[in-house]
Amino acid sequence: MGGVYEEFFGCMPDGREVGAYTLCNQKGMRVKITAYGGALMQIFAPDREGRFRDILCGYDSLDDYRQAGGYQGALIGRWGNRIGGARFTLDGVEYVLGANEDGRNLLHGGHHGFNEKLWTAEMRENSLVLSTLSPHGEEGFPGELRVSVTYTLTEDNQLILDYDAVTDQKTVINLTNHAYFNLGGYASGTVFDHELWLDADSYLETDEMLIPTGRMIPVEGTPFDFRTAKPIGRDIAVDHRDLHIGGGYDHCFNLVGGKQTKPVLRGELYHPASGRLMQILTDQPCIQLYTGNVMTEPVPFKGGYPQQKHHALCLETQTMPDSMHHANFTDATLSPGQRYGTRTIYAFSCR
């Protein structure tokens, strides 16, 4: 039976109650989300034999989400990915941001990003709407930003994420979700056997701190060429400078033709053993591929399963990281009177 169901998930230190919300469709697929950080907690999807398994990493308790790192399943903002030097200049004014990565750079919103917010939840027929207000100056960003993210589970097993925001002052914005997927089930080992296709003809080179240098490197002839589907593990250990820096894939892939007016198919992740297929449709210009290279948190996943390197991967739709420092990168500014709106769809099926 389809619908949206709420349950108590815990309390914040100040006593505020935190809900968890399960979206269900009539085919048996289930998606659970918590209002804390807007985190995707569970995705139960069928294999080719009709057997459902949870394919998303996450935790059993609110305290685990609050204490552990890794941004498991969380909404990321105001800025997904990195900003070099944790500062930028906009219209002649310099803004100093929360330097939460090695005290030098901003990562995923700063010291206290959207992943730590308790979002306001509104249940609809087959959707959950989470909203929040980010005040002017939060983590150093200009403008009061009003944000909502709508999660919808359709009857054809599509999970749709709609991001919306408005500002009262010119600002920068790059929202995404940090879900960690393993289509064999989150407790099934590495993702080296997953086959990935990406509609990307270049990726962003980074420095030793994973900050973009400004160079866009063609994927052809490199381990970063996923234009024909291949196993994640095929080239991940190749002797290549950019793979050494990240300890695997942790790179922004530039999608052919850039930003689109509506979501189009940009990637496919396939698990041959189970038959599960996840297609990524988005209107965003980039996807960050992260292969869980430092997934070594001591906090175990659901059911006590230990975190281990390369046991999941992220496919984060977004704009180019550090774009305010590179004239040739995508524009990520938002002005009063404009609406930030973007859609990403994760479509589940089997082969």
**Segments of 78-187 assigned E as strands:** 82-83, 87-90, 93-96, 106-107, 120-123, 127-134, 145-153, 158-167, 171-172, 176-177
**pLDDT band for position 69 (cuts 50, 70, 90):** confident
Q: What is the mean pLDDT of the chain?
A: 97
178 is a catalytic site residue: yes
> Residue 220 has which token pair?
């052809």
pLDDT the model gives residue 263? 98
pLDDT the model gives residue 132? 98
* Closest C-alpha to 255, from 296, 293, 198, 312: 198
Looking at the chain, how many residues does it have?
351
Cα torsion angle, 17, 18, 23, 24, sign = negative
- Cα(236)–Cα(290) distance, rounded to whole angstroms? 11
Q: Is residue 341 a contact partner of residue 164, using CB atoms and an 8 Å limit?
A: yes
Give the tens place of pLDDT for each residue, 185-196.
999 999 999 999
Q: How far is CA 163 from CA 132, 133, 342, in A?
A: 12, 14, 5
- Cα(336)–Cα(93) distance, rounded to whole angstroms? 17
If phi over 0 gives left and psi between -120 and 50 gives alpha, with beta otherwise, what is residue 245?
alpha
Q: Which of 178, 271, 310, 311 is catalytic?
A: 178
The CATH number for 73's domain is 2.70.98.10
191-226 residues labelled b (16+ CB within 10 A) or e (exposed): bebbbbbbbbbbbbbbeeebbbeeebeebeeebbbb
The boundaries of the domain holding residue 54 are 3-350
108 is a catalytic site residue: no
Q: Which of 138, 195, 268, 316 is catalytic?
A: 316
Sequence letter at residue 49: E
pLDDT the model gives residue 296? 85
- Cα(321)–Cα(207) distance, rounded to whole angstroms? 13
Q: Is residue 81 a contact partner of residue 204, using CB atoms and an 8 Å limit?
A: no
* Closest C-alpha to 72, from 123, 36, 103, 44: 36
Whole-model pTM? 0.97
Give the tens place of pLDDT for each residue, 326-335.
999 999 999 9
**pLDDT band for position 105 (cuts 50, 70, 90):** very high
**pLDDT band for position 2 (cuts 50, 70, 90):** confident
Looking at the 3D structure of the chain, how many domains does it have?
Answer: 1
Average pLDDT over residues 81-105: 97
> Residue 174 has which token pair?
């790059």
